[in-house]
Amino acid sequence: MPALPTDRRRRLGVEIGALLLAVVASAPLLLGRALYESDTLLYVLPHLQGLQDALLAGQLRVWDPRIFAGYHALAAGQSGSLYPINWILLGGLPLLAAHALGLAFHLWLLA
């Protein structure tokens, strides 16, 4: 097998390092050992729960009457109502697993 040029070797090393970093960083998330901050517990997870409930009922979450006097859920950036990755994860996994896998996926995507 011929040796790789120096630039390709360096690039491959950087890519492998980034992938390993993403795996190491996401391991606690996938093992259920991640620490959640209060905004995750009080804001993000309720939005994702509402989205998951709507998706499992075959609906698109547009409005949530349970938040304040009603909340424009479709426009809420945290729930990602129109994000296909959320549809896949929340449609087939429990809420916390879907959230953790979504975070791990985005860490991998950043790598």
Using 50, 70 and 90 to split pLDDT, how confident is the model at 23?
A: confident
Question: In the prediction, which pLDDT does 67 show?
Answer: 74
Q: Residue 80 and residue 8: Cα distance in Å, rounded? A: 37
CA-based radius of gyration for the chain: 18
Q: Residue 13 and residue 81: Cα distance in Å, rounded? A: 37
Whether this prediction's pTM lies above 0.85 is answered by: no
- Choose between 56 and 31: higher pLDDT: 56
Question: In the prediction, which pLDDT does 43 show?
Answer: 78
- Cα angle 64, 70, 76 (rounded to 5 degrees) comes to 60
Quick: pLDDT tens for 3-15.
Answer: 667 788 888 888 8
- Choose between 68 and 93: higher pLDDT: 93
Beta bridge partners of 68: 70
